[in-house]
Amino acid sequence: MSDATVLIVGAGQAAAQTATSLRQGGFEGKITILGEEPSPPYQRPPLSKAYLKGELEQERLYFKNAEWYESQNIDVLTNITISSVDADSMSATTQSGKIFNFDHLVFATGSRNRTLPMEGAQLENVFGLRNLVDVDALRPHVGPDKNLVIIGAGYIGLETAAVAQTLGTHVTVLELADRVLARVTSPIISAFYEDLHRRYGVNIKTRCSTSSINGKDGKADSVTLASGETLPCDALLIGIGILPNIEVAAEAGIKCEDGILVDEAGRTNIPHIYAAGDCAKRFILPYGRLGRLESVHNAIEQGKQVAAAIMGKPAPKLDCPWFWSDQYNIKLQIAGLSTDYDNFVIRGDSDNEKFAVFYFKDDILIAADAINSAPEFMTAKRLITAKAKVPPEWLADSDRSLKDIAAQFK
């Protein structure tokens, strides 16, 4: 055990967590993190928030500094892409042909942006927002008197819109669906965010399809919509979702299905190979089904699971999935997954930007979206994990204490 080698492919949130949890758990073997990007592991959430806004220095994005990795005897090798893994010989090969042997291998390869299959999407001022390099490239295009067109009204598109608008940019958001955040939340929350962005001056167009990106000298200068309307732009941001990085795993014979399939301990179908984070598909507590989550909490939780599995320790206790998003002065905290809810109630008042929506399925609380409402979020997390059958009218009644409600379901 003590001389085992753990190879972590990918150097993001899940990689950092796995390595940290291994050392915290007393693992004494060799740990090597191999990452494609030029940077050691860093946090992505601020990329579309404080970092884009210029309120957070780059240095504060990094989870750990170089001295820490050195003191923990963890090798972090950057600018290295693993192109194949051989499960039989227990080795991984880089694009340039270098071979790394392992006793345990962790896929922490994350995800990449979906690209827009449209002519013009390759022009030099058309950006995605996934990596530090992406934000640094986008930043100069954000500011007074600049036109930014964002295709896709998911969290990343909307967070970027909020920062860009705050910095004086003229922002237009184009969304194919009939509402923003359609894939991830209910119509009530979508309507709240549409209204919020419009009040700040963002031009949001839903049910809107783009028919072409037009350019001159290698640069996009306008976007034509299916309606025939043409919008000028100085830059474009495409935020239409992500694809999990599963190709290397799939070619190694690991079972994948829109995600590397892992069990409740983070193990793939091949012994000694694990996966964690955006690239993994796992059993989601408390819903009893498989799913792939794209969140920090998921990457951390799975990183801990994998570390425990490598060390032969019991799997850590799982929490219900959760997520947050910051836009303008609004903090959204999401507990659970609201997909396929059959009932909901609202607590609080959306007019004063402080309310929560609780979602139910078969009378069980399955999710909550809390807008500037931390107590509702914290309470929901507990109740969801406990699969509580909370009477909806209790939660809807702002005079009824959340602590009292939670106490009933201990």
CB of 125 to ligand FAD, least distance (A): 18
Binding to ligand FAD (CB under 6 A): which residues in 54-93?
Answer: 81-82
Whether 246 and 169 have beta carbons less than 8 Å apart is answered as: no
CB of 210 to another protein, least distance (A): 32
Query: Residue 47 binds what, of ligand FAD, another protein, none (CB under 5 to 8 Å, by partner type)?
Result: ligand FAD
**What are the structure tokens assigned to 128, written together?**
């995605």
Q: Which amino acid is at 273?
A: I
How many Å apart are CA 394 and CA 13, to the nearest integer? 38
Residue 109 is classified by DSSP as: -
CB of 4 to ligand FAD, least distance (A): 21
Q: Which of 7, 14, 22, 335 binds ligand FAD (CB under 6 A)?
A: 14
Q: Does 294 bind ligand FAD (CB under 6 A)?
A: yes
Q: Does 172 bind ligand FAD (CB under 6 A)?
A: no
**What are the structure tokens assigned to 158, written together?**
């909307």
Q: Does 13 bind ligand FAD (CB under 6 A)?
A: yes
Q: Is 247 helix (H, G, I), strand (E, B) or coil?
A: helix
**What are the structure tokens assigned to 214, written together?**
């037009």
Cα 157 vs. chain centroid, distance in angstroms?
13
Query: Residue 72 binds what, of ligand FAD, another protein, none (CB under 5 to 8 Å, by partner type)?
Result: another protein
Q: Is 171 helix (H, G, I), strand (E, B) or coil?
A: strand
Choice between 37 and 234, CB closer to ligand FAD: 37
Phi, psi of 194 (to 5 degrees): -60, -45
Whether 179 and 189 have beta carbons less than 8 Å apart is answered as: no
Query: Residue 331 binds what, of another protein, ligand FAD, none (CB under 5 to 8 Å, by partner type)?
Result: another protein
How many Å apart are CA 94 and CA 32, to the nearest integer? 14
Choice between 322 and 359, CB closer to another protein: 322
Q: Does 324 bind ligand FAD (CB under 6 A)?
A: yes
Q: Does 295 bind ligand FAD (CB under 6 A)?
A: yes
Span interacting with ligand FAD, options 5-13, 54-62, 187-195, 259-267, rule CB under 6 A: 5-13
Site string for ligand FAD, 126-165 (x = CB under 6 A): ---xx-------------------------x---------
**What are the structure tokens assigned to 66, written together?**
């170089």
How many Å apart are CA 354 and CA 352, to the nearest integer? 6
How many Å apart are CA 401 and CA 385, to the nearest integer? 19
**What are the structure tokens assigned to 276, written together?**
């964690």
How many Å apart are CA 175 and CA 151, to the nearest integer? 6
Helical H segments across 167-246, by residue range: 187-200
Q: Which residues of the shown chain bind another protein in the complex (CB under 8 A)?
A: 20, 23-24, 43, 45-46, 49, 60, 63-65, 68, 72, 296-297, 300, 322, 324, 326, 331, 333, 372, 374-375, 378-379, 402-403, 406
Q: Is 377 helix (H, G, I), strand (E, B) or coil?
A: helix
Phi, psi of 336 (to 5 degrees): 75, -175
Q: Is 388 helix (H, G, I), strand (E, B) or coil?
A: coil
Binding to ligand FAD (CB under 6 A): which residues in 209-268?
Answer: 245, 248
CB of 162 to another protein, least distance (A): 14
Span interacting with ligand FAD, options 177-185, 271-279, 376-384, 395-403, rule CB under 6 A: 271-279
Which residues are near ligand FAD by CB under 6 A? 9-15, 34-37, 44-45, 47-48, 81-82, 108-111, 129-130, 156, 245, 248, 277-279, 294-297, 299, 323-325
